[in-house]
Homo-oligomer: A and B are copies of this chain.
Amino acid sequence: MTVELINIGTELLLGTIANTHQQWLCSRLAELGMPVARQVSVPDSPELIRQAVAEALARADVIITTGGLGPTSDDVTVEHVAGLLGRQLREDPALVEHIEAFYAARARRVPAAAKRQARVPEGALVLPNPNGTAPGLVIELNPNPFRRDGKPGWLILLPGPGRELKPMFEQQVSPLLKEKFGAGQDYVSRTLRTVGLGESLVQEKITVPLGELVSAGLEVGFVAVPWGVDLRLACRGPGATELVQRAAEIARGVLGTAVYGEGADELEAVVVRLLTEGRKTLAIAESCTGGCIANRITNVPGASAVFLAGFVTYSNASKQSLLGVESAALAAHGAVSELVARQMAEGARRVTGADYALSVTGIAGPSGGTAQKPVGTVYIGLAAAAGVQVQKHHNLYDRISFKQVTAQQALNLLRLALVGGV
């Protein structure tokens, strides 16, 4: 069974927005055992939409499109897909009613353009959209005239906005796919997430231990970003689950504490879970990361049970007044120094009464570096009941990556302390 994804929208080809649906849908479909074989983006152009849909119908069993179902003039997907399939559009009375109710509930009048969204191709299954006005559509082609073998094809059209697409996929499309195509037991994929090791080193560590399983059909993939390496272990066919399970055990064995989670686990969620389990509290004092660590921690539902307070002490004055960093330390060593990182962590812990306090001070760039302390220099502190430790790193990246890498190192320092019971 082959699945293809078509993302429709000129803005995707102009780079005005990120193609976040690709990642989200691909990840969901992989979990269903139906990994996407090919993803295409085309602009809001009738000809290119028709071409992409026709090509995909010639190859794939299920084609999912996103976008181009909205009310505005550049939303042309339904019209041109219907044209390609030679189907008439009909106005769906239930959809007209839904659109009117949708606007009434918001005390807004119905824009004329909105009613276009009630027109659906003959024979299409309508997927109601409680979060918007554009319905999803499922069109079965049986036989599929675009395929030489005539094997049936499923064309699923989904709206572009994420808050409409995501619940529609989870609640309506996913159950339909499961019912129609089974659980897809023949593909298993697991991803181990690591921090602190480079890509080549991860590969070197696992190559020999996993050699035998690779010969038996294990696929190994790597995704490296500056703040970590993900290791993907996958297999097709009978016995895939057991083989991937064995591979994951072996990889965890050789990679040790570098593995912080699996799949979509984020390091901040692991840290919040460890703090919650240990009934410990956290404070954070950030200079160069500017709130990035606190922002990540508070992305995790339930963070409020463990996170007491964060300080973004960007100025020297705020390091002194809020955290009690000594002016002598600033004068003698500078704001980016081991001593100031230490005093920031101690101060945050003292002021909030938290069990753990992280601190970060460094030079994110692009300017502000010196010969002795070049851009990228950073000190990370962790204060706990047992005392304070400070790490020095040199993170030479663009400003945003610098913040992300440094936040990752700080969260990992805390994770290792929590795992080790420090």
Chain A residues near B (Cβ < 8 Å): 9-20, 22-30, 35-44, 48, 52, 70-74, 111, 113-114, 161, 163, 189, 191, 199-200, 203-204, 219-226, 230, 232, 234, 284, 286, 288-295, 297-299, 301, 303-304, 307-315, 317-318, 321-322, 351-352, 364-368, 397-401, 403
Contact = CB atoms under 8 A, between A and B. Distances in A.
B191 A16 contact: yes
Given A200-B113, A220-B73, A38 B37 contact: no
Given A309-B315, A314-B298, A35 B22 contact: no
Given A232-B10, A232-B14, A299 B400 contact: yes
Given A111-B204, A397-B163, A11 B232 contact: yes
A298 B290 contact: yes
B70 A199 contact: yes
Contacts of A72: 199-200, 203, 222
Contacts of A28: 15
Given A26-B14, A303-B290, A221 B74 contact: yes
Given A15-B24, A25-B15, A113-B203, A304 B299 contact: no
A370 to B, nearest CB: 15
A19 to B, nearest CB: 5
A257 to B, nearest CB: 21
Contact of A303 (B70, B200, B310, B314): B314
A26 B294 CA distance: 32
Contacts of A48: 37-38
Which of A16, A71, A234 counts the most chain B CB atoms within 10 A?
A16
Contacts of A38: 13, 40-42, 48, 52
A16 B232 contact: yes
- A-B pairs with lowest CB-CB distance, top 3: A290-B298, A15-B27, A291-B294
12 contacts: A13-B36, A14-B30, A14-B232, A16-B191, A16-B223, A18-B20, A44-B221, A111-B203, A291-B297, A292-B295, A309-B313, A310-B311
Nearest to A202: B72
A191 B17 CA distance: 11
A26 B12 contact: yes
Residue with the highest number of chain B CB atoms closer than 10 Å, among A15, A17, A23: A15
Given A72-B200, A298-B312, A322-B322, 19 more contacts: A12-B39, A13-B26, A13-B30, A14-B36, A15-B25, A15-B30, A16-B223, A38-B41, A71-B199, A71-B200, A71-B203, A161-B225, A290-B307, A290-B310, A291-B292, A291-B293, A303-B314, A309-B311, A309-B313
Nearest to A290: B298
Contacts of A113: 200, 203
A31 to B, nearest CB: 9
Contact of A40 (B26, B39, B111, B400): B39
A111 B401 CA distance: 26
Contacts of A27: 14-16
A35 B151 CA distance: 36
A403 B299 contact: yes
Contacts of A26: 12-15
